[in-house]
Amino acid sequence: MVALSAERGFHPDLDSIAGAVTPRTRVIWINSPHNPTGAVFTPEEIAGVAEICRRRDLWLVSDEVYEDLAFARPHTSPWSLPGMAERTIVVSSLSKSHAMPGFRLGWIIGPPALSRYLFVLLLSMTYGSPPFIQEGALAALDGELPEVAALREDYRRRADLMSAILADAPNCRPIPPEGGMFVLLDIRGTGMAARQFAAGLLEGEDVAVLPCDAFGPSAAGHLRISLTEPDPRLTEAGHRIVRFARSLSV
């Protein structure tokens, strides 16, 4: 695993990725827009990863479930780059872009030769999707829905709102996302572990956030704050987080 660092804004270090490839490596897996950090990899970064895959004859698995929620720059899929369609596997779904996670409908795009193996995998995992969900997915994928763009703009606005409020939290640093539906808050300056901070925040201010330690060591000391609530509720939650952080510095 090649960790993403907060100091780089959770963007990939191409030299580190290339240096981690060994004779046993078969695949590189990337996620952009990234969960939980909200980083949207640049076209140059995606092209750099693709070049490593071509040079070392590797598969590239690209998790693109947040692609419609990229705000800082348009999402770039490695599948679209020269010489990558035959070695790229795109994984995505309607869960985030169309706010329908409960329907559990997603897809994989890859070379035809891969399909027979995917069919075997899917047969062992699911019996199929209900017809009304499949019909809804066809409607969602058949054209550009204004609701998708509106949802993206809602998340962009809420991210700006929450980041501005959290900027007043002492010893904390909000990380404005480049995409997705979360804001990350770096609370390492408080001297508390993320789990401890989150537990105190829930008990003291009735605000639930997610400690990011489970995402890997580079996310330790950060909290993931969801932007799925309406503006007034998010505003209140943000002020409560600031109030809790201030109570720690007294």
The tens digit of pLDDT for each residue in 149-199 reads 999 999 999 999 999 999 999 999 999 999 999 999 999 999 999 999 999
pLDDT higher than threshold 70 for residue 4 = yes
Per-residue pLDDT tens for 89-139?
999 999 999 888 888 888 899 998 888 888 888 777 766 788 888 898 888
Length of the chain in residues, anyone?
250
Task: Report the percent of the chain where pLDDT is more than 70.
Answer: 99
The pLDDT, as a whole number, for residue 126 is 67
Please state which of the ranges 35-44, 78-87, 103-112, 199-208 shows the lowest mean pLDDT: 103-112
pLDDT number for residue 130: 85
Taken in order of first residue, the domains within the chain and their CATH numbers are 6-141 (3.40.640.10), 146-248 (3.90.1150.10)
- For 225-243, the pLDDT digits (tens) are 999 999 999 999 999 999 9
